[in-house]
């Protein structure tokens, strides 16, 4: 996986939180940040799934979780 180096400025309290959390878990701050981003990305995916599945147009035209199995007659 390609990587990109990032230099960020954080308020001291946020940096201290990251440092303490990473130290307590025995990992680097960069790994903790990557894990937090992955967790946030996953939660966004779940929210989007819920939003789409409740949408009436998606339920009618979607390929799953709708009133009809559209793939069955495709």
Distance, in Å, from the CA atom of 26 to the CA atom of 19, rounded to the nearest integer, reads 10
* Within a domain: 71: no
> For the chain, how many structural domains are there in total?
1
pTM for the complete prediction?
0.58
Closest listed residue to residue 32, CA positions, set 44, 47, 17, 46: 17
Q: Is 2 helix (H, G, I), strand (E, B) or coil?
A: coil
Q: Which domain holds residue 39?
A: 16-61
pLDDT tens-digit profile, the chain (74 residues): 788 888 999 999 999 999 999 999 999 999 999 999 999 888 877 777 666 666 666 666 555 555 565 556 55
* Within a domain: 5: no
Max CA distance (Å), the chain: 59
Query: In the block, which residue shows the tokens 């409740």?
Result: 54
Contact between 16 and 32 under an 8 Å Cβ cutoff? The reply is no
Distance, in Å, from the CA atom of 52 to the CA atom of 46, rounded to the nearest integer, reads 10
């Amino acid at each position: 996986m390609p990587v990109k180096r990032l230099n960020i400025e954080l308020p001291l309290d946020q940096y201290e939180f990251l440092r303490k959390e990473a130290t307590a878990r025995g990992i680097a701050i960069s790994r903790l940040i990557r894990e937090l981003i992955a967790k946030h990305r996953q939660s966004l995916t779940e929210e989007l799934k819920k939003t789409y599945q409740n949408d009436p147009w998606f339920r009618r035209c979607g390929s799953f979780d709708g009133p009809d199995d559209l793939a069955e007659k495709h």
